[in-house]
Amino acid sequence: MLQIENEYGSVLCDHAYTVWLRDIVREQLGNDVVLYTTDGFNENMVRCGSVPGTFPTVDFGAPQTIDSASKKFQVQRRFSGGGPNVNSEFYTTWFSMWGDRSVPRQDIKNVVDSIEAMWQLNASFSFYMIHGGTNFGFWNGREPDGPVITSYDYAAPISEEGQITPLYRAIRNWIGSKQEWPNTPLPLPPNRTGIAINGITALRLPNFIKLLNSTHTEQQCIHSNGARPLNFEVFDRDHAFVWYSTVLQIGGSVLTIPVVKDHAYIFVDGKFKGNITVCDRTGCSQRVTINALAGQRLDILVENAGRLTYPLSKVDPKGILSPVILGGISVSNYWTQCGVSIDALYTAGSLLFEEAYLEQQLLKGSSSIEPPQPAYDEPAIYAAKFTTPDIDWRLAHTFFDSRGWGHGIAMVNGFNIGRYWPLLGPQMTLFVPGAVMKNENFVLILELTGRQKSKSLQFDFLAQPLYNGEGERQFQNDQPMVDREDVSEDDEIVRNPVPSGYLRKYQQALAHTRRNRHQSEEHESDEAGVREKRMDFFSHF
């Protein structure tokens, strides 16, 4: 089976386009492949999303009764020509966004009752998601009112890190209760081992702006002279960051950028002055006081916090999208725009760390030398090196604990594990697959807003994920911590593992600031509300 588009009827109704897609697939794959479409259970959605010569299906989630599920399948049957009832995206819960109070958790009984209802209706269904995922790197996406978190765990039966959950067990037991089911469930595999490592010491790297500028050459930058700088798309920057630079021809106190997507970090002659953000659930700031003089250099680091995933009909340019105004006057200057390469930043940061770390070790005990202090109110780059015991990381995983940090991205051994934002939540940890870890590890952290005050430069890796308002999830077995005798003897690198050797529930996450609960948008259909969405990919089994 192969799907044509995804919930296309929620956005447009261009059958010429969808027929064109159908014909391309038929030409490439022949007539032996079953083609189908997926749309919400609203009649207009199915009408616009279905394609002649393909099988239309619907999608909806729990909770459902036999009556409510039957009504949804009735919409499908009006277009299916007597075909079977199919829910091609039975979603167990929903994704989360930065600023949510907590991650959605579906009642297990609701899920089991819903699949029983569909079973009684002789329906076929596919779980979305059956296995949770991760928006590594810059692939988190956003909705109109804000960005999606890094985790795409989705409270799935198999968790983001591949663990068997209570929901999985409940579904397995339900299958086992069906005498007419042709195959009995296979034995459960053991859950993978989560590894926790405590007390890793980070080093703040010097020369933040110099480090960022080292990520590109002059030939890789674009120069312009106009009413406003160039947006990302003009020079093929789809994600990450762009560095804008100009020499001011005028002075002024207040800098204003009416339209920026998504976050702008402002520097004058290398000194951080504040940030300007798009107005969404994460905050809103369009001006900052810089007290700049003519002749000074203005640098603006702009972060793309995620591409719009829905609705598809909206254009979503990124960068500085309006004139930059200083003291009420437009800064119509000669601008230089440079893409920031995260891979190059990692390489430059690792080299600088080796120099800084060696210098710190050589100068230990010198009263005249003080190590760089945490940047509580400004962007900075931090790095750390640590060793782990002889762990078979193919059978293990861990989670970067972002509590104590502000907002930014983290890289482990050159792999971008995604964005963190513990001040907003609900996600407090970032999943690190075992394939990323080594016996000797290097972490680079691009901190964009400054570390939280009163927090030291130590951070941890946890054995289990942590979300706001929840303890670490417990699965079928308690997972071991790193034992004291297994860690490096260098207490500057790895120290203070939990003495008990077993997981304990961590304290609840930090209190949120600037938080406002937003529910997923619901759109009324003929008989029930329809939750419209666009997903990155479709799981079918």
- pLDDT tens string 124-149: 999 999 999 999 999 999 998 999 99
Half-sphere exposure of 473 (CA within 13 A, CB side): 28
What pLDDT is stored for residue 469 in this prediction?
64
246: left (phi over 0), alpha (psi -120 to 50) or beta: beta
**Distance (Å, rounded) from C-alpha 260 to C-alpha 280?**
12
What pLDDT is stored for residue 355 in this prediction?
84
Does residue 196 register a pLDDT over 60?
Answer: yes
What pLDDT is stored for residue 494 in this prediction?
26
Q: Which residues are catalytic?
A: 7, 89
What pLDDT is stored for residue 523 in this prediction?
34
What pLDDT is stored for residue 106 in this prediction?
84
Band of the pLDDT at 528, cuts 50, 70, 90? very low
Band of the pLDDT at 451, cuts 50, 70, 90? confident
CATH number 3.40.1080.10 given to 2-189+522-530: no
Q: What is the mean pLDDT of residues 385-393?
A: 89
Q: How many helices (H) and strands (E) does the chain have?
A: 7, 34
| Burial class of residue 318 in the structure, from the number of CB atoms within 10 Å of its CB (0-12 exposed, 13-18 middle, 19+ buried) | buried
What pLDDT is stored for residue 540 in this prediction?
27
Band of the pLDDT at 390, cuts 50, 70, 90? confident
Q: What is the mean pLDDT of residues 406-425?
A: 97
- Assigned token pair, 478: 């308690």
Torsion sign (Cα): 5, 7, 12, 16: positive
**Distance (Å, rounded) from C-alpha 297 to C-alpha 294?**
9
Does residue 369 register a pLDDT over 60?
Answer: no
What pLDDT is stored for residue 361 in this prediction?
63
Q: What is the mean pLDDT of residues 223-247?
A: 93
Does residue 373 register a pLDDT over 90?
Answer: no
In CATH, which superfamily holds the domain spanning 216-340? Galactose-binding domain-like (2.60.120.260)
Q: What is the mean pLDDT of residues 164-186?
A: 94
Round the average pLDDT of the chain to a whole number and report it.
Answer: 84
Does residue 241 register a pLDDT over 70?
Answer: yes
Band of the pLDDT at 259, cuts 50, 70, 90? very high
Does residue 180 register a pLDDT over 70?
Answer: yes
Q: What is the mean pLDDT of residues 427-435?
A: 98
Q: Directed axis angle between helix 66-80 and helix 108-120, to 10°? A: 50
Element (H, E) at 16: helix 15-29
Does residue 524 register a pLDDT over 50?
Answer: no
Band of the pLDDT at 356, cuts 50, 70, 90? confident
What pLDDT is stored for residue 527 in this prediction?
32
Model confidence, pTM: 0.84
**Which segment, 184-198, 399-413, 476-490, is predicted with the most confidence on average?**
399-413
In CATH, which superfamily holds the domain spanning 197-204+359-486? Galactose-binding domain-like (2.60.120.260)
Among 214, 495, 531, CA closest to 345? 214
The boundaries of every CATH 2.60.120.260 domain in the chain are 197-204+359-486, 216-340
Alpha carbon dihedral 333, 334, 340, 345, in 10-degree steps, equals -100
Convert the pLDDT of each residue in 305-344 to its tens digit.
999 987 665 789 999 999 999 999 999 889 999 999 999 9
% of the chain with per-residue pLDDT over 90: 70
Convert the pLDDT of each residue in 48-104 to its tens digit.
999 999 999 999 999 999 999 999 999 999 999 889 999 999 998 999 999 999 998
Band of the pLDDT at 365, cuts 50, 70, 90? low
What pLDDT is stored for residue 487 in this prediction?
29
